[in-house]
Amino acid sequence: MEMIMEKTNDKTRIIDDVADEVRERLEGEGSGHDWWHVHRVRNLAKRIAAEEGADPHVAELAALLHDIADWKFHGGDDTAGPRASREVLESLGADAATIEHVCDIVATISFKGAGVTIPMKTLEGRVVQDADRLEALGAIGIGRAFAYGGHKHRQMHVPGAAPVMHATAEAYKKSEGTTINHFHEKLLLLKDRMNTAAGRRIAEERHRYMEDFLLRFDREWEGAS
Percent of the chain clearing pLDDT 90 (strictly above): 79
For the domain spanning 2-221, the CATH number is: 1.10.3210.50
Per the prediction, the chain carries an average pLDDT of: 93
Q: What is the pLDDT of residue 1?
A: 52
> In this structure, how many other beta carbons lie within 10 angstroms of the beta carbon of residue 94?
23
Mean pLDDT on 139-167: 95
Residue 2 in this model has a pLDDT that exceeds 60: no
Of 158-162, 173-177, 216-220, the range with the lowest mean pLDDT is: 173-177
Domain borders along the chain are 2-221
Q: For residues 89 and 60, give the distance between their C-alpha atoms in angstroms, rounded to a whole number.
A: 13
Gap between the terminal Cα atoms of the chain: 66
For 99, 143, 221, the CA distances from 225, given in Å and listed in that order, are 53, 22, 10
What predicted TM-score, i.e. pTM, was given to this entire model? 0.92
Helix 123-134 with 197-221: angle, nearest 10 deg: 20
E strand residue ranges, the chain: none
- The DSSP symbol for 73 reads G
Rg, Å, the chain Cα set: 18
DSSP conformation letters of 174-208 = T----HHHHHHHTGGGGGGG--SHHHHHHHHHHHH
For the ranges 34-43, 60-69, 81-90, 107-116, the lowest mean pLDDT is seen at 107-116
Q: What amino acid is encoded at 48 in this protein? A: I
Least confident of 29-38, 168-177, 189-198: 168-177
pLDDT of residue 5 exceeding 50, the answer is no
Percent of the chain with pLDDT over 70: 96
Nearest to 115 by CA among 36, 194, 41, 172: 172
Report pLDDT digits (tens) over 81-135.
999 999 999 999 999 999 999 999 999 998 988 888 888 999 999 999 999 999 9
Write out pLDDT tens, residues 135-148. 999 999 999 999 99
CA distance 141 to 119: 23
Q: Is the pLDDT of residue 4 over 70?
A: no
pLDDT at 225: 66
